[in-house]
Structure 1
């Protein structure tokens, strides 16, 4: 699974941009990343979006415990890796057929959030049970939406390419080739939406903080993101929401 979006759409966290030790960032542009992926995975499904943005999914080397699926519905693109244990209940809740895949379900979940839901996204994603990671893009609204399960059962990585684009993938090698050192693990149990940023769906009222790690010479060599349970975000009380316990 691979998704690459220009900075204006992806709006990656600034903390992901780790300075290179030798002053030269070993990273690629969006066009170079696309060409490298096509060369490595010639049988992949590739979706070229506007302005050089794209989504890609390869059927090769698929983990049978974490199957991959992709769908395009009503100009909403979704790639999904993993399984939802409660998909039968979720299909029933959203009025979907028994043939609906996890990717199709996530498109419906997103459309409900976008168009009708009176509750925030964290409450909906919290209902998903299983090991998963997904990347969704609404081409009409220019909205990027990504998340992983709360245990990090499917490892999602993200980083910043040479031109400032956001890169997301479940393959660490793809991320490292595309972004050099400017990458990190996507935090488990979190949601990222362009325009809203990064939040924890179990602790939506607490800040997700970037923590830098330095080498022996005091240079930043890595960054991790984790929920700061001691810092609450300023917010309007969510009347009737079960999320107020957080």
Structure 2
């Protein structure tokens, strides 16, 4: 799965834009779309969104099945599987045919429409191995999450124009971001309005740890982790926002 969004929707943490040792040129959003299409021929779908943003879905694998849904202008790509789907379907009033992606859309709608509501409360109820990318085109909101163990691959980084890129394919994001990427931290969520937080430790900051050469001349890696020494003043919460109008073009490969 792949997502690229401009800074007005999802501003990457500044550490993702730090130059790394031996970093090649970053690609534009359009160039990344072409790389995705060329690497995933025949079994990919590209959702082209306004202002050059897009979501991409490649073929699923047996170890990490994927479900995709578009409901009420909300796009969700879910990779992995939940162990408590039956309970979640009952809680959100969904049918037995509802996929994990549909469950996440309903969970997000609760988060969006019943403000104030802490996002960590929504995600900590999920049991299983998962990562998902959700975009609300009306609210212009990006929502990401990864399970506590980091069982399903999800990376994020910055493109040449400072857009946020998220991808499950390490080779694709490496080619797109010029090595300026890192694993999305396990047990964390990212929301456009509130940024990066831990859903198990919402009162503690998730901090970027920068690893440098022995002489400090080059940055070799950037890792995000919970900083138990830095406490936040309050839990980030979601509120209702004004509607956003836009059109979507879907490309099937």
Partners of 1:136 and 1:68 in 2: CA distance: 13
* Contact map agreement 1:181 1:222 (CA 8 A) in 2: no
Aligned to 2:221: 222
How far is 1:119 from its partner? 2.8
Q: Aligned pair 1:187/2:197, yes or no?
A: no
Partners of 2:29 and 2:70 in 1: CA distance: 22
Partners of 2:121 and 2:182 in 1: CA distance: 25
Aligned to 1:55: 55
Deviation sequence 1:75-121 (CA, Å, 0-9, x none): 00010100000000000000000000001110110011101255311
* Contact map agreement 1:181 1:221 (CA 8 A) in 2: no
Q: Aligned pair 1:32/2:31, yes or no?
A: yes
Farther off after superposition, 100-109 or 35-44? 35-44
Equivalence map 1:76-225=2 (5 Å): 76-116=74-114, 118-218=116-216, 219-225=218-224
In structure 2, stretches of 5+ residues that fail to align are 238-253
Runs of 4+ in 1 over 3 A off after TM superposition: none
Partners of 1:25 and 1:143 in 2: CA distance: 30
What's the TM-score, normalizing by structure 1? 0.91
Name the SS of the counterpart of 1:33 in structure 2. helix
Aligned to 2:2: 2
Deviation sequence 1:112-163 (CA, Å, 0-9, x none): 1101255311011000000000000000111000000011111210000111
Partners of 1:171 and 1:203 in 2: CA distance: 28
How far is 1:65 from its partner? 2.4
Name the SS of the counterpart of 2:47 in structure 1. strand
Partners of 2:19 and 2:229 in 1: CA distance: 29
What's the TM-score, normalizing by structure 2? 0.89
Name the SS of the counterpart of 2:8 in structure 1. helix
* Contact map agreement 1:18 1:181 (CA 8 A) in 2: no
Instruction: Tell me: CA distance 1:226–1:40, structure 2 relative to 1, closer, same or farther (3 Å).
Output: same
Partners of 2:177 and 2:25 in 1: CA distance: 7
